[in-house]
A and B are shown apart, each in its own frame.
Chain A
Amino acid sequence: MSGVSGKTVRLGAGAGYAGDRIEPARELAEEGHLDYLCFECVAERTIALAHAERRRNPDAGYDAMLEARLRAVLPGCRRNGTRIISNMGGANPLGAARAAARVAGEIGFDGLRIAAVMGDDILAELLSDISGPNPGIELPENFPPHNRIVSANVYSGIDGIREALRQGADIVLTGRVSDPALFVAPLAHEFGWRDEDWGRLGQATFVGHLLECAGQLTGGYFADPGFKDVPDLARLGFPFADVSEDGTAVFGKVPGTGGCIRPQTCKEQLLYEILDPGAYLQPHVTADCRDVTFVELGGDRVRMTGATGRPRPDMLKASVGYFDGYVGEGQLSYAGPGADARARAALAIVRDRLELRGIRPREARYDIIGVDSIDARAAAVRLNTPPDELRIRVSARVDDEVTARAIGEEVESLYTNGPAGGGGCTKTWREVIAVAPLMVSRSMLSEHIHFEFSHAAS
């Protein structure tokens, strides 16, 4: 039965992605009266990129903003008894824990227990399995060639984080973990949920899902002036949730911060990145949000009830990062009368130039920003009068760095060799690390925890 103890646990969302704003997290740490502050900082490709970085520097591979975030929130968190959970460990949770211990010591906190949760990195096991005589892992169609694979990480669930909390961690840093698990784990720890409490775990999963993108619950990615007005996005507050033992929650934010929490913002975030609302597959539960109800309580507070859960899936999802060639890109602007004709001529010239040089991209796009770079139907269908300010964009996938550079160079050379008045060239190239999904058995994941301790500088 819910409400027996009346206990609630307050979880705050400190970041919705790796580069997110820091001040809202500081506000939550200082004034949010949180039990836990959770930072979700790993996108689909983040860990693959971090692995590539770690190849160059073995101490790297964790979130570049880890130190800055901890400096901002640790004083408030220590004062308010708030524990910190994050996947900022990226490709190197141990390195992240060491860095966190160093930062905590430098700003005067002694003896903090900082847990690195590891085990999500299955690259060695994957490669040995699929290269061996009797591969046990079933590879999907179009799986990348083995020699291009740079990383493989399985999405872990709540177990590692919960165990770290049980062992008294003040800060928990993980690698790849399902995003909602960052929030479900502390709830399971606090309320003593069993692994088969599917209903509570399902409800808690959607609480975590609403929080994990931080500002996307409080009016970010929502505002549409005149239709959906949101106050003061420059000072957007990040959300927290007061969660009860039955997994139901009331969402709120620090008074005085920007943004808003309304049933509309909650509904949009509820379905964000959800495919089948009846089967949101998590390592710890199959969650179902079809019967969720939001009730506005006023004062930027909304109650959520009604999510449920069923037994967890048998298999775990993994992300496999692989080297996928190079992409080169160039952009250049045209304006005034005839900008459209000059932009089109410019694109045709770049096409011809690549052909004359014998460059055959595996794939290429010739866009006009302002006409058809976003909406592929637009040029032909709707846009009768193109704007007087347009920007061409050529982007191509090629096999080597030199050719990738040539794409932008051919756009740049339009300055002196192309149509009149081309201005503001930018050119970029990059090595592409792409990500392919893979389903693996649960036995591939063997989580373990290592503790670091901070030593205050005297």
Chain B
Amino acid sequence: MLLRDVAHARTGDKGDIVQIAVFPYRDADYEWLRERLTSSVVCGYLGFADGAAERYELPNLPALNFVLRRPLGENVTRTLALDVHGKCQSSLLLAMPLERPVPTETDDAGR
């Protein structure tokens, strides 16, 4: 299974920041996604420096908002990258392989 099978995502940009919001299709998947998609996992998967990300949790929406800082000197107005804004990043993130936790009798999270 890929993240894409359980969630959708959108990238935004602001100066030297790439921001990616991840939204589970089903509210019930929020809790285990919150456990799996830590900021260091997302940083590592997308090739950002460790510690470059901050994560904001929005349990009511529900959603996870990742704020990723680009390397020094990289921003929308001066980058040499083809995708200057980083708009493709949310699609790259959705390719992350994931396994939905198997619910136990005492734990029905994720169902």
Contact = CB atoms under 8 A, between A and B. Distances in A.
A396 B79 CA distance: 10
Interface residues of B, number: 34
A45 B75 CA distance: 11
Given A267-B61, A274-B12, 16 more contacts: A44-B15, A45-B76, A142-B73, A267-B23, A268-B10, A271-B12, A271-B63, A272-B12, A274-B65, A275-B17, A292-B60, A374-B88, A375-B92, A396-B80, A397-B80, A435-B75
Contact of A293 (B60, B72, B81): B60
Contacts, number: 106
Interface in A257-316: 264, 267-278, 290-293, 306
B56 A228 contact: no
A88 B21 CA distance: 29
A364 interface: yes
Contacts of A222: 10
B78 A272 contact: no
A138 interface: no
Contacts of B72: 142
Contact of B21 (A142, A271, A278, A434): A271
A148 interface: no
Interface of B: 4, 8-10, 12-15, 17, 19, 21, 23, 46-47, 56, 58, 60-61, 63, 65, 67, 72-73, 75-78, 80-83, 87-88, 92
Interface residues of A, number: 48
29 contacts: A227-B8, A264-B8, A264-B23, A267-B23, A268-B10, A269-B10, A270-B61, A271-B10, A271-B63, A272-B12, A272-B19, A273-B14, A274-B21, A275-B17, A275-B67, A278-B56, A290-B58, A292-B60, A292-B61, A293-B60, A324-B77, A324-B78, A369-B82, A374-B82, A374-B83, A374-B88, A375-B88, A395-B82, A397-B80
Interface in A356-389: 363-365, 367, 369, 373-377
Per CB-CB distance, the 3 closest pairs between chain A and chain B, nearest first, are A273-B12, A271-B21, A268-B10
A227 B12 CA distance: 20
Contact of B80 (A228, A327, A375): A327
